[in-house]
Amino acid sequence: METIKKIRGRAVVIPGDEIDTDRIVPARYLKAVTFDGLGEALFYDERYDARGKPKDHPLNRPEHRGASVMVVGAGFGSGSSREHAPQAIKRAGFKAIIGESFAEIFFGNATQLGLACVTLDPEDLGVLAEWVRANADGEVEIDLEAGEVRFGERVAPLKIPEAAREALLSGRWDPLAELLESAAAVRRMDEKLPRPGRPGGYR
């Protein structure tokens, strides 16, 4: 499984606090059978009008095309627990989100996708947001090993729950992949379990 130690890329600022999952992915996209193509639904109603014409949204601006780090405010991912929200963010090409705080369920869903969510204190976050707006071509680095976010000449200490940090660093962030990787051990354990017709099994 993939270990995630450092993430580096251009960033985009999505302004506002308490951005909920209904805004991240409109409810009508929950009917999708798979998550394929869900990246196109990211902030759709905030990015396009009723006729599909682009609005002036950070994600629509040419200078932010290809950004892989999202900078957000406080309470990001609040509201419903839909997994579609972090799925849409990841499938739109983002690898990390830097914010002041995250809704707990959103954070857990994101971590299980390998989407790193880290926090900065409000002052550092504000400086980062202003730097990103002024340096669209600049890159931001999230170093999970060192516990730092680096941009320009500045280094800011990041925060992330230790369990999530260890999961990303060790590559154990995807429980399904971990289960599949352990398939041989699961089969060995299955062979030891009692069942009808097996010595020591039940009747």
Residue type (1 letter), 57: H
Side by side, the strands of the sheet bearing 69-71 are 116-119, 96-99, 69-71, 6-13, 139-143, 148-151, 154-157
Query: Distance of CA 164 to CAs 5, 59, 73, 176, 196, Å?
Result: 12, 27, 20, 16, 42
Count CB-CB contacts under 10 A for residue 37: 11
> Tens of pLDDT along 162-188?
999 999 999 999 755 554 564 565 566
Q: Please check whether residue 193 lies inside any domain of the structure.
A: no
What CATH number is given to the structural domain containing 168?
A: 3.20.19.10
pTM listed for this prediction: 0.85
Contact predicate 96/115, CB 8 Å: yes
Residue type (1 letter), 52: G
Q: Please check whether residue 57 lies inside any domain of the structure.
A: yes
> Tens of pLDDT along 4-63?
999 999 999 999 999 999 999 998 888 776 788 899 999 999 999 999 999 999 999 999
Q: Please check whether residue 202 lies inside any domain of the structure.
A: no
The beta-strand segments (E) located in 120-186 are: 139-143, 148-151, 154-157
Q: Please check whether residue 192 lies inside any domain of the structure.
A: no
Query: Domain residues for 25?
Result: 6-172
Q: How many domains does the chain have?
A: 1
